[in-house]
Every structure is written in structure tokens, then in C-alpha cells.
Chain A
């Protein structure tokens, strides 16, 4: 049985990030895109913690950075959902194809 090393964790993070990227580009619903961004932030956290564990001299900095990523993600989702609710109130829909005010 093979040993689980740094590359396995990084590949898992890359796969999770790619799935999140697919969702962020390919979905229509505003909240669905927020969910995809959450997936990508989680992938980043996996990478940070894997580096923190496997690389020398990191001295545990990865865990600190992950905490800050989680803080930013919490702020982002709170603002994002508030914007989604405000959008729904003014437009009556959360379909991104209908938000083309800036298109000429």
C-alpha cells in the first residue's frame, strides 16, 4: 500500500479547487456561485495545512494562515448573502443572466 504524502494532499486540494472553479463559472444561481467559492477556499486550506505539516521550516504558519482564510470566508459569505437578499428584493430573481445593467 502506498504511503500518503504531500502530493496526495495537494492533488486533493487541486481537484477540489477545480470543482469549485467549474461551479463558479458554470452555474447560474448567485448563491450557487457563493457555494463554489466556499469550495475553493476549503481547497486552499487543505493545501496550507499540508504544506504546514510536510515542509520543514514552516513552523506551523500554515495553521495560522488557515485561520485567517476561515475568517475572510465567513465575512465573505455574510456580505455575499446580504447582497443576494438585496438583489432579490430589487430584481425579484437571482438568475445571473438577468443582471446585465452594465452591458451596453
Chain B
């Protein structure tokens, strides 16, 4: 009872925030609604008993990513200072609506038709210590690759984003 109320509230928050991200005219407002969506997803993670992932979601997405996006937006969007019409639809807007509806219809149809062999009992929460042990034993190669990828991404972001020197 309580569980379903919480789930539907969080789902409404998430989907409403996501729709606002797409539909708002001012792109800064879009990013602010994106933070709402991220927090809703973090709540969904909590209902799935993934405490660590919920904390990471708040720290990385709602904290770091959205602030980074706002920084980049305010760097590129100065112009005349008008932000009111900065997030328009392209000429593929109706195509996008059609594709999304078709995709969602197909997915929901097949999801409802499928019977999953669920456990019945909810799995126990995975502790942070357990995740850490697995990351450094079973998934250690992927872990190291992710570390290298983050380093490469950081170097690439600095090199792409810095001011271009005139070589002439």
C-alpha cells in the first residue's frame, strides 16, 4: 500500500520532470527540471533497495553533471542575454513524437505480455562493501578500463575545450 503510493509519486515526479525538460522553452529551466528528474530517479533507486546507487545518483547526476551543464550553457548562450526561446523544437519534432510513441507502445506491449520468472521475495540490499569487493575481484578489468576511460575523457575535454591557438 505505502510502497505503491511512494512508487507512483516518484514515477510522476520523474516523468513530469522529464516532460518538462523536453517542453520548456528556456533551456536553463530545462536543466533545473532535469535535476528534479534525477532526484526522482534516485528515489526510485531507494525503493529498489540500492542505497549506494541512489547516493551516487544524487552526487554525480544531480550535483556534478547538472552544474557542469549549466556552466557550459552560460558560457555559450550569452548573445543578447535573452534566454526565453533558447530550446526550440527542430523540424523533426512530430517525427520525434511519433517515434517515441511507437517505441513506447511496442515496449509496453511486449513488457505486459511477458511473464517474468521473479523470485517473489525481494533480493536483499547489496552493501557498499560487497559492491567494492566485487568491483576489485570479479569486475576488476572493467573497473580499470573505466578508470582509464575517465582519464582519457578528462584529457580530451580539456584539449577540445581550451582556446584554439593561432598557428599561422
Binding site for B on A (CB under 8 A): 1-12, 14-29, 31-32, 34-36, 38-39, 42, 45-46, 49-50, 52-56, 58, 60, 63-64, 66-68, 70-79, 81-86, 88-89, 94, 96-97
Contacts and interface: CB of A to CB of B under 8 A. Distances in A.
**Interface SS majority for chain B:** helix
A54 B18 contact: no
Interface of B: 1, 3-5, 7, 11, 14-15, 18-19, 21-22, 27, 30-31, 34, 37-38, 41, 44-45, 47-50, 52-53, 56-57, 60-61, 64-65, 68-69, 71-73, 75-77, 86-97, 99-101, 103-104, 107-108, 111-112, 116-119, 122-123, 126, 130-131, 134-135, 139, 142, 146, 149-150, 152-154, 156-158, 160-161, 163-164
B72 A7 contact: no
A1 B92 CA distance: 41
23 contacts: A2-B4, A9-B44, A14-B103, A14-B104, A16-B41, A25-B92, A25-B100, A28-B88, A29-B27, A34-B69, A35-B21, A35-B30, A38-B61, A45-B45, A46-B45, A53-B49, A53-B122, A63-B126, A64-B134, A67-B53, A73-B65, A77-B65, A81-B68
